[in-house]
Amino acid sequence: MVVLSQPAALEHCSLIKTCKPTCVFTGIPVIDLRDPEAKTLIVKACEEYGFFKLINHGVPMEFMTRLEAEALSFFNLPQSDKDKATPFGYGSNKIGPNGDVGWIEYLLVNTNPQLTSLKTLSENFCYEVNDYILAVKRLAFEVVEIMADGLEIEPRNVLSRLLRDEKSDSCFRLNHYPPCPQLQALSGRNLIGFGEHTDPQIISILRSNNTSGLQICLRDRTWVSVPPDQTSFFISVGDTLQVMSNGRLRSVLHRVLTDSMKSRVSMIYFGGPPMSEKIVALPCLMAKGEESLYKEFTWWEYKTCAYKSRLGANRLGLFEKTANASL
């Protein structure tokens, strides 16, 4: 196992893809949540990019900085101590069950029911995680309700009710991407910290420290780097929302590169529906006579399929009606 809190041995790098740096993209939509036009701007951003930066979001900055400090304290522990948390959500290097690897270590927890304790973690760490999750959950509810207003969905809680449901399958992930200066010095390239993928849930809310690394893929298949901003959130459309909007809102393909000298810490809330929820295009978003692009499935069916596939697979392709018609 790679000891990710220390510079890792280069022989492990052969398992992980490398990538040349790409251009910084200054065209990311920036949306003020308190802007009277936010509902229109959010829908436009989700149609064009599936991604936007959110400012004036109302989550206290101290919630972010305190959790980041606790996360770094945990990730800087000796590997033997971190390994004790493996049954409770800690992992490193391996991403999923099908051979995907990355220059990463992480802590993944379910957010429903409310997280109250994590064995092997400090009481203060659990307290900070709880505070942060509760604040970001409220933000997620507000964002999808404003989005519903922009889409003219009635009632406006059609999306938020799925996240509020006591059986909502939402989760929270803390990622740590250690630097790897040896590889940068040898090749001038960056390691892939987390390979290209779309998020399968409804919506993702990301906050990271001020280290770059996040990249998104534009419609023309160009990869661009997202300038970091530790005071803001980055919102991503997930596959489930793409299906519910019948393709009007598109999930964004993204990845993370490591920095050669600085560690990157990110925290992501993934808002998912209940396991038994049937995922289908919302009739109110379809024109008269319009056909749904995807066959109906439950979130459990899609999640099971997604997590059995490779990270970069076109997971939704298996559920497209045109694809199934040709089988």
Indicate yes or no: pTM above 0.85: yes
d(CA 182, CA 269): 32
Which tens digits make up the pLDDT trace of 134-178?
999 999 999 999 999 999 999 999 999 999 999 999 999 999 999
Q: Which of 221, 264, 310, 315 is catalytic?
A: 264
Taking the CA atoms of residue 96, residue 97, residue 99 and residue 103 in that order, the dihedral angle to the nearest 10 degrees is 30
Q: Is 66 a catalytic residue?
A: no
Q: Is residue 324 part of a domain?
A: no
CA nearest to 278, candidates 296, 291, 292, 304:
296
At residue 113 the predicted structure's pLDDT band, cuts being 50, 70 and 90, is low
Q: Is residue 183 part of a domain?
A: yes
Rg, C-alpha atoms of the chain: 19
Q: Is residue 43 part of a domain?
A: yes
Which domain, by its residues, includes 198?
Answer: 19-308
- What proportion of the chain, given as a percentage, has pLDDT over 70? 89
* Structure confidence at residue 13 (pLDDT): 53
Average the pLDDT over 55-60 and give the result. Answer: 97
Tell me, what CATH number does 31's domain have?
A: 2.60.120.330
> Does residue 116 surpass a pLDDT of 50?
no
CB-neighbour burial class of residue 10 (10 A; exposed 0-12, middle 13-18, buried 19+): exposed
Number of domains in the chain: 1
Q: Is residue 136 part of a domain?
A: yes
Beta strands at 190-197 and 223-225: parallel, antiparallel or unpaired: unpaired
Q: Is residue 63 part of a domain?
A: yes
Q: Is residue 26 part of a domain?
A: yes
